[in-house]
Amino acid sequence: MAGLLLQIVQGLSLGAVYAGLALALVLVHRFNGIVNFAQGELAMLSAYVAWQLLDAGLPFWAALPVTLAVSLVGGMLVERSIIRRVEGDRELAPVAVTVGLMVFVNAAAGLVWSFAVRSFPNPFPAALSFGSAQSGFSALGVLGVVAVMMLLLHAFFRHTGAGLIMRAVAADPVAARLSGVRVGRVLGLGWGLAAAVGAIAGILVAPLLFLEPNMMGGVLVYAFAAAVVGGFRDPVAAVVAGLGLGVAETLAGTYVAFVGADLKVIVPLLVIVAVLVLRRGPAGTAGTAGQW
Amino acid sequence: MRHGNDGREGTGVNAVAQTGHRRLAVGRMAGDRRRVWPWQRTTLAALAVAACAAPFVLEPYRVFQLTMVLVYGIALLGLNLVVGHGGRVSLGHGAFLAIGAYIAAIMTGRLGVPYPLALPVAALVTFGLGLALGRPALRLSGPYLAVVTFVTAAVVPPVIKRFGTVTGGSMGLSVPVPSPPSWTGLAEDQWLYLLVLAVAAVAFAAARNLLESRAGRALTAVRENPAAAEILGVRPGSHRALAFGWSAMYAGVAGTLYAWVVGFVSPDSFTVTLSIVLLAAVVIGGPGSLAGPLLGGVFVTFVPAAAQRAGDAIPGIVSGLLIIVVVCFAPTGLAGLLRMAAGGVARRLGRG
Amino acid sequence: MTVNGPGDHPRSLFEAPPGTGNGPAALLRVHGLRAGYGPARVLHGVDLELAAGEMVAVLGPNGAGKTTMLRALSGLVRGRGSVLLDGTELLGRAPEEIVRLGVAHVPEGRGLFAPLTVEENLRIGAHLRPAAERAEDMRRVLAWFPVLRAHLSQPAGSLSGGEQQMLAVGRALMTRPRLLLLDEPSRGLAPVATRRMFDVLRAVGSHDRVAMLLVEQDARLALEFTSRALVMESGRLTVGGPAGWPQAGRRPSLFRPGR
């Protein structure tokens, strides 16, 4: 029973990482209608930035805000320099460009840091842990960080002027321009925020998976499934789905012999296909789409 | 956001207007019957002669490379139906290639079925899978096809590994290479090349016919303006799903040819990277043109391998940068650039 | 109530009274405005002058280019020619920059933020204004459209059509414009509410000296409230005159059904 509970907590912490990256995908898509295939690789890049800072001797809780700031600015720069050229285009150009970015960032990280696997320090104190409870404790830490991040995001969107303007742009970019909102800047800020949110996912998952340029590939697949559940618009549904996928994956991998470790990745595919088959009408128009 | 686009509100109107603009009757379209040198036909004929002569002139390794260009060209021809003509993105054609290849490997290698039989089976299975995947993904507006195909491409290698008793697992399977009938007197590589060339010719002709048929024109209409097409009675979802089925079939056929030519299949040959490289090849070759897939096939066969020699990270850097640069600055790809260059030369000749 | 916000321009003592539109005080001077969508030309050279505080109706058949003219003035459609607002060229500027110069556009279909609350919609309108004056502006708008007060925390999309129209106009007025472009503000409104809306517009126009360009299908109503009416036909403003001229029972032939 304790084993099951630990599995669930671990599943939740993995799910929190999926939820974080899914949230980043939703953020980008809400503001400029683009599915960012490079979201995982940008998060990986942020994890390397954090690793570099830690390697230089910074304590973890100092490296985290610096990394987030770097990711925010980096995301805005990427939007301004590359993505802006394809915003508003039909599907091919935006998808192709973010796929190109994904491939490029992945390879560039390999060039700079090599494809070798590195261990990433676990930010949560091991002193309080003994035996298997250690992983349980750090899983709770991951959950806590993701929860705090979501509360902060919610507060930002609900209770600040900048958040209000961003929600207005997400609701109707043309009406926002007619109210004097510089939509281009908001779209850039959306990318920056998404990159920062993704960075948290990357930094949290790095100790669990080890740091390497390909570490986010699998996470991205789960995050896509979670984002599809939310129609790429609904952040709450995406987060809940991310948590659920994490638990489902962990339990299925452990308790369903047929699935095992190899076949776990089929879970997100099944979820996506099920959502696509069951959903009616244009995605994202129904329900809680307007809620942050 | 570029100012010219004025948000998203005007794009529908612009699209209609532009489509209208493109159809303005000019030159020969308007009934100008002046005799023009048939550049297109001459080029095609020259290409056909060169293609048939190649295996008898080139050394075996070059013949093998050229065969691979054609194999990838067939897959890209299919991908181009979705990307170039349908305006949608698939990141899962590597998976269909894998399925076609494994059908060939299992049928001929494990079950001892004569090798030509694998081709129609692979075609049918991948067509069905494409339809099954495309139907739900294309019913909804939004980038779902790209996402679901990407995830499919990520899932296929682990699934192949999981069912190792049939697929050979991560060790892979070797495939008996089709041997030339003795009466032809051909070497193995020449026979394979001609076999692939024949399939490629049929595939190109079929794609051309498909695009000029009612279904093909409906597909273009759907890409240019889904709302208008729907008013005219074209159902965007089903046309796109059908196109995706055809497209998956091309990839499946290419997969079977791949298995014959390479003689070995393993899950690591069909990772997400392959699907991404295929998309890159369509974008770089020139989406929406018939020459694009061949140019893309050249890209897939030569560029990553050449870049690999400079380091593990270089293929990714080269492909990634090329995709971004081509999409941003030359959206018609290599085929478009060649056409512009040819146009320039023709104008200069005409003047001189 | 403040009359001259900090965004207002200094005015000459000798400016022409509103209604003449040709004096040196013309707020808006449009000359040879051409615009369209891709190769489809819609406007073929529009000339127009508008004084501060003047309310002008633009009438005309469907497809004549009335909406396109407003869209060109607010930067949603690229135009050529010349559009001077108080001497500043508007053409070539992005819509968000034109708003910042004092032009508010209430588009067809209202241009509200449906998932946002009524209050949030109004706050978006005011986000360019000095923080100290936003509360006062909000009070003003709610005094003009008291219906909105009851729905402040309700999503804009859940309002009735008429309430949405009031909110859209209210949002535009929150920007404290010098020029207000209105695309069929009476659409979806009940007759009583329409009169109320036009009363408010007329009061704001004369009190804050906001110039208004009003595209309207209901010619009778528009002519009753505006000082001048212009008729748009086939992308040109063909007839102008003091409001009231086409009244008196005789419907001008311009209003025949579209070709």
- Which CATH number fits the domain that encloses residue C185? 3.40.50.300
Inter-chain CB proximity B158 and A265 less than 8 Å: yes
Answer whether residue A197 is part of any domain.
Answer: yes
Strand, coil or helix: B275: helix
Residue window 140-159, chain C: list those with CB within 8 Å of chain A: 155
Structural domain includes residue A145: no
Nearest to B17 among C40, C75, C95 (CB): C40
Please determine, for residue B182, whether its predicted confidence score (pLDDT) is greater than 90.
Answer: no
Chain A contact for C207, CB < 8 A?
Answer: no
**Chain C residues near residue B12 by CB distance under 8 angstroms:** none
User: Could you tell me if residue B330 is inside a domain?
Assistant: no
Instruction: For chain A, list residues whose CB is within 8 angstroms of any CB belonging to chain C.
Output: 161, 164-165, 167-168, 171-172, 174-183, 289-291
For residue C157, being part of any structural domain is answered with: no
Alpha-carbon gap: A146 to the closest alpha carbon of chain C (Å): 26
Average pLDDT for B178-190: 83
Nearest to A88 by CA among A185, A182, A176, A173: A173
The CA distance from C114 to B327, in Å, is 34
Highest mean pLDDT among A206-215, B254-263, B326-335, C62-71: B254-263
Residues from chain B contacting residue A95 (CB–CB below 8 Å):
89, 91, 143, 146
Q: Which domain holds residue B243?
A: 61-271
Higher pLDDT, C204 or B239: C204
Residue A37 has pLDDT above 90, yes or no: yes
Dump pLDDT digits (tens) for B144-177. Answer: 889 999 999 999 998 998 888 888 888 888 888 8
Q: Which residue has the higher pLDDT, A133 or A58?
A: A58
pLDDT of B34 strictly over 60 = no
Looking at A114-128, A219-233, B32-46, B69-83, which range is the least confident one?
Answer: B32-46
Q: Inter-chain contact C78–B3, Cβ cutoff 8 Å?
A: yes
Rounded to the nearest 10 degrees, the angle between the axes of helix A2-32 and helix A133-159 is 30
pLDDT at position B323: 92
pLDDT of residue A129: 46
Cβ of B13 within 8 Å of Cβ of C77? The answer is no
Query: Which structure tokens are listed for C165?
Result: 């129209």
Q: Which residue has the higher pLDDT, A84 or C25?
A: A84
* Disruptive mutation site among B11, B13, B224, B225 for chain C (greatest number of C CBs within 10 Å): B13
Nearest to A95 among B1, B89, B312 (CB): B89
**Interface contact A164-C123, CB threshold 8 A:** yes
In tens digits, chain C (259 residues) has pLDDT values of 334 434 344 333 333 344 444 445 688 999 989 888 877 888 888 888 888 888 899 988 877 888 899 999 999 999 889 999 988 899 989 999 999 999 999 988 778 999 999 999 999 988 888 888 888 999 999 999 998 999 999 999 999 888 898 999 999 999 999 999 999 888 778 888 888 888 899 888 888 889 999 998 888 888 888 888 888 888 888 765 555 444 433 444 444 333 3
Q: Is A283 on the interface with B (CB under 8 A)?
A: yes
Closest-CA distance of chain C to residue B224, Å: 14
Of C99, C111, C115, the CB nearest to A174: C111
Measured from the Cβ of residue C29, the count of other Cβ atoms closer than 10 Å reads 17
Q: Please tell me the predicted confidence (pLDDT) of residue C239.
A: 62
> What's residue B233's pLDDT?
66
Q: Which of B8, B276, B287 sits opposite A92 (nearest CB)?
A: B287
Q: Is residue C52 part of a domain?
A: yes
Residue A291 has pLDDT above 50, yes or no: no
Model confidence at A290: pLDDT above 60: no
- What distance in Å separates the CA atoms of residue B23 and residue B234, rounded to the nearest whole number? 19
User: What domain count does chain C have?
Assistant: 1
**Residues of chain C contacting B18 with CB distance shorter than 8 Å:** 38-39
3-state secondary structure of B352: coil
In Å, how far is B176's CA from the nearest CA of chain A? Answer: 29
The residue that leads in pLDDT, B116 or A127, is B116
The confidence score (pLDDT) of residue B343 equals: 80
Is C86 inside any structural domain? yes
Measured between alpha carbons, how far is B6 from C71 in angstroms, rounded to an integer?
10
User: Would you say residue B81 lies in a domain?
Assistant: yes
Which residues 48-67 of A have a C-beta within 8 angstroms of B?
none
Task: Say whether B6 and C76 touch across the interface (CB within 8 A).
Answer: yes
List the single residue in B137, B143, B312 with the smallest CB-CB distance to A110: B312
pLDDT, residue B99, reads 95
Residue B1 lies in a domain: no
Contact B253, B119 (CB under 8 A): yes
Contact B67, B196 (CB under 8 A): yes
Q: Which residues pair with C41 in a beta bridge?
A: C36
B2/C contact by beta carbon, under 8 A: no
Domain residues for C34?
A: 26-109+174-255
- Given a cut of 70, is residue A128 above it in pLDDT? no
Nearest to A110 among B9, B283, B313 (CB): B313
Domain count for chain A = 1
Is A167's CB within 8 Å of C115's CB? yes
Closest-CA distance of chain B to residue A202, Å: 19
pLDDT at A97: 94
> C139 in a domain, yes or no?
no
Cβ under 8 Å to A: B residues 311-330:
311-317, 319-324, 327-328
Q: Is A95 on the interface with B (CB under 8 A)?
A: yes
Q: Answer with the residue of higher pLDDT: A91 or A187.
A: A187
The ipTM (two decimal places) reads: 0.89
State whether residue A96 sits within 8 Å of chain B by CB: yes
What's the domain count of chain B? 1
Residue A159 domain-assigned?
Answer: yes
Helices (H), chain B: 11-22, 39-57, 60-80, 93-104, 118-139, 144-162, 164-167, 188-212, 214-224, 226-231, 236-262, 272-285, 292-308, 314-329, 333-351
Q: In Å, how far are A26, A292, B326 from A224, measured between CA atoms?
A: 10, 19, 26
CB contact under 8 A, A82 and B315: no
pLDDT in tens, B284-335: 998 888 888 889 999 888 988 888 888 888 999 999 999 999 998 888 888 8
Q: What is the 3-state secondary structure (H, E, C) of chain A?
A: CHHHHHHHHHHHHHHHHHHHHHHHHHHHHHHHCCCCCCHHHHHHHHHHHHHHHHHCCCCHHHHHHHHHHHHHHHHHHHHHHCHHHCCCCCCHHHHHHHHHHHHHHHHHHHHHHCCCCECCCCCCCCCCCCCCHHHHHHHHHHHHHHHHHHHHHHHHHHHCHHHHHHHHHHHCHHHHHHCCCCHHHHHHHHHHHHHHHHHHHHHHHHHHHCECCCCHHHHHHHHHHHHHHCCCCCHHHHHHHHHHHHHHHHHHHHHCCCCCCCHHHHHHHHHHHHHHHHCCCCCCCCCCCCCC
Mean per-residue pLDDT, B226-239? 69
CA-wise closest residue to C105 among C72, C82, C135: C72
Tell me the count of B-C CB pairs closer than 8 A: 30
Residues of A in contact with B162 (CB under 8 A): 260, 262-263
C108 in contact with chain A, both atoms CB, cutoff 8 A:
no
- Chains sharing 3 or more CB pairs under 8 A with chain C: A, B
For residue A219, what are the domain limits?
11-115+155-278
pLDDT at B6 over 70: no
User: Which residues on A lie below 8 Å from B315 (Cβ)?
Assistant: 107
Q: Which residues of C touch B21 (CB under 8 A)?
A: 38-39
Per CB-CB distance under 8 Å, the chain B contacts of C78 are 3-4, 6
Q: Check C37 against B17: CB less than 8 A apart.
A: yes
With a CB cutoff of 8 Å and minimum separation 6, the contacts of A186 are A31, A165, A166, A169, A176
For residue B136, the model assigns a pLDDT of 86
User: Are C159 and C118 in contact, with CB atoms under 8 Å apart?
Assistant: yes
CB distance B13–C38 less than 8 Å? yes
Contact A173/B at CB under 8 A? yes
- Is residue C21 a part of any domain in this protein? no
B70: three-class secondary structure by DSSP: helix
Residue in C with minimal Cα distance to B22:
C39
User: Model-level pTM?
Assistant: 0.83
B5 touches chain C (CB under 8 A): no
Instruction: Kindly tell me if the per-residue pLDDT of A288 is higher than 70.
Output: no
The Cα A183–Cα B173 span in angstroms is 54
* CA Rg value for chain C: 18
How near does any CA of chain C get to the CA of A145, in Å?
29
Chain C stretch 25-44, residues whose beta carbon is closer than 8 A to a beta carbon of chain B = 37-40
Instruction: Kindly report the backbone phi and psi dihedral angles of residue B179, in degrees, each rounded to the nearest multiple of 5, phi listed first.
Output: -100, 145
A106 part of a folded domain: yes
Backbone angles phi, psi at C34, to 5 degrees: -120, 140
Question: What chains are in contact with B, requiring at least 3 Cβ pairs below 8 Å?
Answer: A, C
